[in-house]
Amino acid sequence: MITLQGKGVFGGIAIGEIAFFKRDSGVVQRKKVEDPQAEIQRFENAKAKAIEELGELYDKAVSEVGESNAMLFQTHQFMLEDLDYVEAIENMIQTQSVNAEYAVSVTGDNFSQMFASMDDDYMRERAADVKDISARVVKILTGAGESGLVTDKPVILASDDLAPSETVQLNKDMVLSFVTQGGSTNSHTAILAKTMNIPAIIGIGDALDEKYEGKEAIVDGANGCLIIEPDEETMKEYQAKKQEYLAQQELLQQFRGKETVSLDGQKVKLYANIGNASDIGAVIKNDAAGIGLFRSEFLYLENDNFPTEEEQFKVYKYVAETMGQKQVIIRTLDIGADKQIDYFNLPHEENPAMGYRAIRICLKQQDIFRTQLRALLRASAFGNIAIMFPMIVALEEVLQIKEIVKSVMAELDASGIPYNKEIQLGIMIETPAAAMISDDLAKEVDFFSVGTNDLTQYTTAVDRQNANLEGFYYPHHKGLLRLIKMAADNAHKNGIWIGICGELGADMEMTEAFLAMGIDELSVSPACVLPLRKKIRETSVKERQEEILKNVL
C-alpha cells in the first residue's frame, strides 16, 4: 500500500482504478524511404481506413444528433478524396523519398495555412478540417494510440495537469476523481471537480507516476491523499467513509425547495456556475434558483473552429428553455490567459493574465463579439437570459459595449427577429480598477458580479495558476474584501444588485461577511448550492453586522 499526499480541492471519497490522461507528442519525424511506391500504397491504405472510420462516425452521429450535425464527417470524407490534396502528398513522397506520415503532416499544414489566408469565410473554416483529416491519417499511419481519457469504465483520472481545452472534451461519466502532479486550487481542473461534485487532489508531484496505471486506488479529497493498492482493512474503512459521506449528501436534500433566507430574514439568490449545457442536470438536481455564470468560452474550447451564430443560439436557447423563468446569466467569451484556443491564433505573451484576453479580444475583434451577441439576444426570446461582460477596467469599455449591443439590436429589429428588449446587461468586477470606479459603472449597467478568482489575483499580484505561489494567494485578504464591500455599496447606492460568482462565494467562512455586506446573490458550483443554503438558513447577522465587518475589513 502506497500513500501519496497532495492538496485536496474538493472533498469526498472515490474508489477505482487509476487511468492517466494520454497525449500525442504531435511530432512527426521525417524519414528517407527506399521504396516511394510502397510508401504511396501505405498512404492509400491509411486514407481508405480513415474514410471508413468517418463513415462509421457519420452513422453514429446521425442516430445521436441528426443528419445536419453529422454532415461534418461526410465533408471530411470528401476532402480526403480531393485530388489536389492527394496528389500533393503522393508527389512529395515520390519526389523527396519521404515517409507517408511526414508527407501527410506537411501537406496538411500547407493546405491549412492556404485556406486560413483566404478572404472567403467558408474557405477559411476549412483550415481546421484539413488539419483534422491529416491528423486522422497520420494517426493511422503511425499506429498511435488513442489520446485523452481512454477507458470503458469510470476511473480515477491522473495527469500532470489538465488544460481547459482538455477538460471540456472529457467524457465526464467516466471520471470518478481528478488527481494531478501540479496545478493550483484555482485551476480549471479544480473548478470542474466542484461542478461535477467529485473529489480532487492537486500538487502530488512526481510521485504520481504512470507506473500506477490500472492500479486500484482510493482518493480522499478532504485529506488530500491518494492511497494506491490499499490493504483490505483500509479498503473497508474507506468504503464505510464513502457511505457516510453519501448519507450526509442525502441529508442535504431536505433543503431542496426551501427558500434561501437567513434567520433574520435576509434573502439571497443562490445560483449555480456552469461550463456547458451538459451541466444543467446538476443545476436542477441541486435546486439552484438560477445560473449565475455560464462560461460561454467552453463552446469555443470544445470546437476546432469558431462556433457559428446558429450553433451558439441553439445552446443558449436550450439552456434558457430548460431553466424556464429562472435567470440565466451568460458571460461573453473569456479566453486568453490560461484558456488558449489554437484557431484564435493569439500571440505568445510573457504575462497572459495581464494581456490580450476576454473583453479586450471582443472589442478588437468585433465580428466574433457581434456573432455571439446576436446568438445571445435571439435566445433571450426563449427565457430569462442576462448578459455579463468580463475583465472590465474602464467606463469607456462599458459605453462601447452598450453601443455595440444597441447596433446588434437594430440589426435584429430590421430583420424582424424577436429578442428581449429589456434584457439585463451586467459586468464582472474582477479588476481593482473596476471596483474603484464602481460608482460610475453602476450607473450604466443592471448588475455587478464579482469574479473573486481574478480579483484576488490582481489585487494581491499573485498568478492564481502558479502552484509555487499557493502560499501567497490570500482569498481572505482585507484589501480584496474592502474592494468587494466598495462595489456592493456603490451598486446599492445606484439601485442595482450585486452577486459573487467566483470560488470565494462558496467559502462558508465568508458567508457571514457577504451577508453583512448585503451581497444579493451567490453563484457557486452546483454541488455547493444545498450546503450553502443550509449555512445561510442557519445564519443571523443583522445584530452583529458592524462587528462582523470590523473583523473582516
Please tell me whether residue 384 adopts helix, strand or coil conformation: strand
CB of 151 within 8 A of CB of 20? no
Catalytic annotation, pick one of 76, 362, 501, 528 = 501
CA angle in degrees (0–180, nearest 5) for 229-247-151:
40
Cβ-based neighbours of 173, under 8 Å, separated by 6 or more: 154
CB of 452 within 8 A of CB of 185? no
Q: Count how many Cα atoms sit within 13 Å of the Cα of residue 136 in the half-sphere of its side chain.
A: 21
Catalytic annotation, pick one of 188, 362, 477, 492 = 188
The DSSP symbol for 13 reads E
- Tell me which amino acid residue 336 is: G
Q: Whole-angstrom Cα distance, residue 438 to residue 494?
A: 10
User: Which H or E run includes 177?
Assistant: strand 175-180
CB of 10 within 8 A of CB of 190? yes
How far does Cα 120 stand from its chain's mean position?
A: 30
Rounded to a whole number of angstroms, the distance between the first and last alpha carbons of the chain is: 47
Closest CA to 517 of 504, 531, 503: 504
Q: Whole-angstrom Cα distance, residue 228 to residue 115?
A: 49
Only one residue has cell 491549412, namely 112
CB of 264 within 8 A of CB of 541? yes
Q: Whole-angstrom Cα distance, residue 172 to residue 170?
A: 5
Residue 76 falls in the annotated catalytic set: no
Other beta carbons less than 10 A from residue 467's beta carbon: 18
DSSP H helices in 161-270 = 164-167, 188-196, 232-251
CB of 473 within 8 A of CB of 203? no
Residue 188 falls in the annotated catalytic set: yes
**269: which 3 cell numbers?**
439568490
Sheet architecture: strand order including 7-10: 2-5, 225-228, 216-220, 13-20, 155-159, 175-180, 200-202, 7-10
- Tell me which amino acid residue 539 is: T
Other beta carbons less than 10 A from residue 418's beta carbon: 12
Q: Whole-angstrom Cα distance, residue 40 to residue 43?
A: 5
**109: which 3 cell numbers?**
499544414
Q: Whole-angstrom Cα distance, residue 123 to residue 512?
A: 56
Q: Whole-angstrom Cα distance, residue 363 to residue 382?
A: 27
Catalytic residues: 188, 501
